[in-house]
Amino acid sequence: MSMRIPSLGVEAPIEPIGLVEGRNQLDVPEWYNIGWYHIYDKPGFGTSSLYSAHKDYWPNKKGPFYALTELQDGDQIVVVMDDGREYVYEVFFQRRYTRENIPMYDLIWPHKARNPELLRPEGEEWITLYTCGGDFVERTEGGPGYYLHRDVVIGRLVEKIPPPAVGTLEDDRR
């Protein structure tokens, strides 16, 4: 699987991730990948899928979601499945939350969201992307640290593109 975000020039592999073993905490992907929380839903199933990626990585590497806050309503997010099938989503929601106040329950299960603006209507499929953002706190001078906020973008499915047709025997003879 991979993801394209044309307006940001992003194209990156998707890595299945889940919960950190022994803790009730979402795992994070490698700095250059986009993580798909496979323990929740999958694209194309008519529900919602959740992805995260690094904004950046110490000391000076830009992650796939480096410019996530630049996405605007109408921008596209494309998930490409292993068989070539594509799911095209259109951005309609962008928000920054503090680390302590990000509504993870609502983002993971938007069909049961407590916040009305995050409640997914019946029959819609959503994709949720999130990353670190906002103010950065250094742990050591010039060293790694952490961000105080989380940036969230949500898109709704607008198009399903079937996988490329497998060539016929006649095509293979040419």
- Tell me: the pLDDT tens digits for 64-76? 999 999 999 999 9
Q: Which residue has the higher pLDDT, 45 or 60?
A: 45
d(CA 84, CA 2): 10
Count of positions (residues) in the chain: 174
Q: What confidence tier does 136 reach under pLDDT thresholds 50, 70, 90?
A: confident
Other CB atoms closer than 10 Å to residue 90's CB: what's the count? 15
Find the domain containing 143 and state its range.
2-173
Count of structural domains within the chain: 1
The pTM of the full predicted model, rounded to 2 decimals, is 0.87
Q: What six digits make up the tokens of 157?
A: 């499915």
Q: Indicate if the pLDDT at residue 94 is higher than 70.
A: yes
Enter the tokens of residue 164. 């490329």
Instruction: Output the domain CATH number for residue 56.
Output: 2.40.260.10
pLDDT at 73: 98
Question: 2 near 12, Cβ under 8 Å?
Answer: yes
Who's near 78: CB < 8 A, 6+ residues apart? 3, 4, 5, 6, 86, 87, 88, 89
Highest mean pLDDT among 10-19, 25-34, 78-87: 78-87
Element (H, E) at 16: strand 10-17
